[in-house]
Structure 1
């Protein structure tokens, strides 16, 4: 469902989703520290939420003489799940690396919540509100599930060596807030029973959940999922679809995912953007993109 879709009452669908979350019992919601960063209890929607959260305009990336991305443009609106598809080498991960500032782009612009990312230092991306998972898991395998998730929440903590060494009250409050967020996320993603287990001892599908939980612990407005279905079996794929929807519906987090598993993309996405050889070849609803002649040609090498 697109964020721009209206309910029978005339409210945006994303507002109804977030309202349902806010109306849950106090014990089920993440507590909010007055002096800390925003937590998962989503604010009420405003008309500005109908504007793009992420706006990509004419982004071009070259590696020597190779054009990895050529004038790619699309928007992601608040509350959407947008799928980014394309054959191998289409430029999907390159685009993700531009959004997370691992790569620079020559031309074009990327605006997130109205702010340009082009000159933003990469270490400020998480603080701005963008989280990310990776194709190759980047977990601390010798640490526990809980410890990995806690690490994700520390990008918002404040205070240097002196403040932390003397355990000022602000340090204690922030640690409590990060712990509460971690516990909520582990419960949401089915990791609570494994909180004290080493990540290396978990099945691969659960390691994927740990990486997602760590990305969400930073309380992002937008999470970038880089091939979340890779290596998962059929049952785990079904679980993943449900988790992605819960991330959007219960936490109010907008989702942009790169994925080769077409069934998952078409079932979970509100809109789909298709790339081929670094160019955008289609954009629309899953049904529209799936039947687009350019998309069929890119995947099958034949005309529709």
Structure 2
């Protein structure tokens, strides 16, 4: 996964840039410093960094503030929450991923340490939130283990399907029937609750003078499974990637999976399978090819 660790010199430059923007809009001075409410937690060191460049007064409540300051805007959810409650107050951040050139990956500021340490701290807070004692023997190494596990579970980010879909032209000259790999195991996570999705994926394609190594179909499914997903999108992503990069006459993908977000919470009904399909080319348009694929899948 791509992570961006901000150095102290980069932090100073970001703070100076934000200070210049605040100075342009509000023109604060020593007699009338701009009143800032820093968004907990990252907004506090961010505001202190900006205060090195222009007169600021950190206040204890949103009511007292002229503006809000945070360290980073990721999805925009935090900003939306504060703007909903205080629509008359402006919201600023050192880095806004929703505007301008968008840095990819997770932003790590100097006060957060390294990437792993920062993530470990969040797992400690999660354990405390559910009522556990993170210092007890069984949980001492849990934050580090969870960090490594999520790095693996989400290892599909940053991987490009075209890098693994090596094409062979030899051996496909006279083969115009479908090639199918059945029941590829998939392990993913639901993007709504971060709970496991697990099941099988069947991939079929009708070659058009080119074939790929059979193991590449499993690797293709894994690239998209190792991301936060919904099953419908994952099915289409696999089909589209194969149809785009191999250029076959047709592609068919079927995923059969169980979702722990449904089995372990909410309705708590176990054993159901969700089945999704994505058909492209002749496997979609030709009734015989479609019937053959669905029989195999």
If the TM-score is normalised by the length of the shorter chain, which range does it land in? under 0.3
TM-score (norm 1): 0.23
State the structure with bigger RCO (CA 8 A, min sep 6), 1 or 2. Answer: 1
Larger radius of gyration: 2
Please report the TM-score for the alignment, with normalisation by the length of structure 2: 0.23
Greater per-residue strand proportion: 2
